[in-house]
Copies of this chain bind each other. A is one copy, B any other.
Amino acid sequence: MKPWCRIDWGGRPHYAELQGEMLTILDGCPLEGGKPTATNVARSEARLLEPVVPPNFYAAGLNFRDHIDWANREFNKSMGVPSQADIGQRSVAALTGHDSDIIVPADAKGPLHFEGELVAVIGRRAKHLSETEALSCVAGYTLGNDVSERNWQFDDRTMWRGKNTDTFKPMGPVVVSGIDPMNQDIEVRINGKTASVYNTSKMVFSVAHYVSRMSQYVTLHPGDVIWFGCDGPTVPALKDGDVVEVICSAIGTLRNRIRWLG
């Protein structure tokens, strides 16, 4: 499968396939057999949306040791390294695409942090997969920025505002298949300057382990996404006007600008 995405074209969402700098409009979702049409659009002229609107949006949260160690020091917490792969959830309503703004409500006190993450996109209905066969249900991978308002994250009873405010979940730019999810360098840049780099090999629980374990209890559906957490510190904090990029050479660059209201 060629890299694919979803774009706003003619005021409506369309799936599209990427070849070089050209997008070919598809006649449907590639997870449902969408095929190329005769219509091409220059990538530079298309506004990218989040590549899927997932039926279910899962997130590992804590899945890298250095991030947990850093967060415990930074926020005076005592979060342990998870002893089993328990998945969490995020809101589909919070998703936004590449090059859109991350809009921060005026009453957010911050700090506001990036979390650059690998995202698996489920390609078919699946249940009771072994770890060996788990990756067979993954259609491909994209990138996510698990934007986190730490004051709300730790003070509210749930993470509904801290991690699920509208636009706090940029995802994209494209979905790429045929890559090794356990050996990708993920870099985050703020205003062009490197803030974080880590390799996905450092996951506490692998993509295959998570997918297999989830599938023992939960049916995975086409378009479901699983975000796998990030490693290391997530500083400096994001400020109004900052441009934050999540970069993986095999997938591309997910870029968004912070717009802090008020």
Judging by beta carbons under 8 Å apart, are A219 and B160 in contact?
no
Say whether A161 faces chain B, with CB atoms less than 8 Å apart: yes
Known A91-B89, A93-B56, A158-B88; contact A164-B218, beta-carbon cutoff 8 A = yes
Oligomeric state, in copies = 2
Residues on B with C-beta less than 8 A from A165 are 217-218
Judging by beta carbons under 8 Å apart, are A93 and B55 in contact?
yes
Judging by beta carbons under 8 Å apart, are B94 and A218 in contact?
yes
Say whether A185 faces chain B, with CB atoms less than 8 Å apart: no
Residues on B with C-beta less than 8 A from A197 are none
| Contact for A161 among B58, B157, B217, B220, CB less than 8 A | B217
List residues 202-218 of chain A with CB under 8 A from any CB of chain B: 214, 216-218
Judging by beta carbons under 8 Å apart, are B93 and A160 in contact?
no
Judging by beta carbons under 8 Å apart, are B86 and A89 in contact?
no
Residues on B with C-beta less than 8 A from A65 are none
Kindly state the interface size class of chain A when it binds its partner.
Answer: 35 or more
Complexed CA–CA distance, A168 and B161 (Å): 26
Residues on B with C-beta less than 8 A from A86 are 156-158, 160-161
Chain A 161-175 interface 0/1 with B at a Cβ cutoff of 8 Å (1 = within)? 100111000000000
Judging by beta carbons under 8 Å apart, are B166 and A217 in contact?
yes
Chain A interface residues (CB < 8 Å from chain B): 53, 55-56, 58, 61-62, 82, 84, 86-94, 105, 127, 156-158, 160-161, 164-166, 214, 216-221, 224
> Given A88-B158, A89-B90, A166-B217, 15 more contacts at CB 8 Å?
A55-B92, A56-B92, A58-B160, A61-B158, A82-B157, A84-B157, A86-B157, A86-B160, A86-B161, A87-B160, A88-B160, A93-B219, A93-B224, A94-B218, A164-B217
